[in-house]
Amino acid sequence: MNAKEAQKMVKACLSKKRYTHTMNVRDAAVHLAEKYGADPDKAELAALLHDAVKERSREELLQILQNNAIMAQNAEKSPPPVWHGICAAILAQTEWGVTDPEIVSAIRCHTTGKAGMSKLDKIIYLSDMISAERDYPEVYELRRLAEEDLDKAVCTAVEKNIGWMRECGKSIDPLSLEALEDLKRGMQTREDTHE
């Protein structure tokens, strides 16, 4: 599936609101990919597909996880809000003909992050949080950081996400905690080598 086909598919299966979000994530992701030297075509396809199954029912998503147990890797133990990324990554490979592991990874971890995020993983994660329609108070700071420093922006974004989930008493996927620890470590190593 190419970007044009992906756009057509999500336009047909998502609400207007989520389709607009998807287009805004696409625009942000292509911009950040060009800015930070990632592949803009991969960023575009990953962004277009990242929320493609977000409007499917919980039962349907669970069914996708159960039907693809090896790919799902016990994902049903993760909090249900993260299932849509994992399911989109599974369907990308099994139904939509997306074989590029970088794209699949970026779709899969767009809600949680993970340890060892690639540049594309970071770009999709961040684009999802700073897309043009978002207007929570901290988004302006994140957009500014995104223009300055990708690593710092993603680290801040993951940290904020974990903070919000804690405030709301939601369960936090261990992958997010691993992502934060890893990103912080990366930032520290970078600072140390620049001293």
Binding segment (CB under 5 A) for Fe ion, from list 56-64, 96-104, 128-136, 153-161: 128-136
Among 114, 128, 155, 161, binds Fe ion (CB under 5 A): 128
Among 44, 51, 121, 173, binds Fe ion (CB under 5 A): 51
Binding segment (CB under 5 A) for Fe ion, from list 38-46, 48-56, 145-153, 161-169: 48-56
Report the 10 Å Cβ neighbour count for 51. 22
Residue 82 vs residues 16, 21, 41, 53: alpha-carbon distances, Å: 21, 17, 24, 11
Q: Which residue's CB is nearer to Fe ion, number 133 or number 190?
A: 133
Q: For 100-136, give one letter per residue: b (16+ CB within 10 A) or e.
A: bebbbbbbbbbbbbbbebebbbbbbbbbbbbbeebee
DSSP SS3 for 135: coil
Cβ 128 to Fe ion, closest distance in Å? Answer: 4
Binding segment (CB under 5 A) for Fe ion, from list 34-42, 70-78, 120-128, 153-161: 120-128
Question: Which residues are near Fe ion by CB under 5 A?
Answer: 51, 128
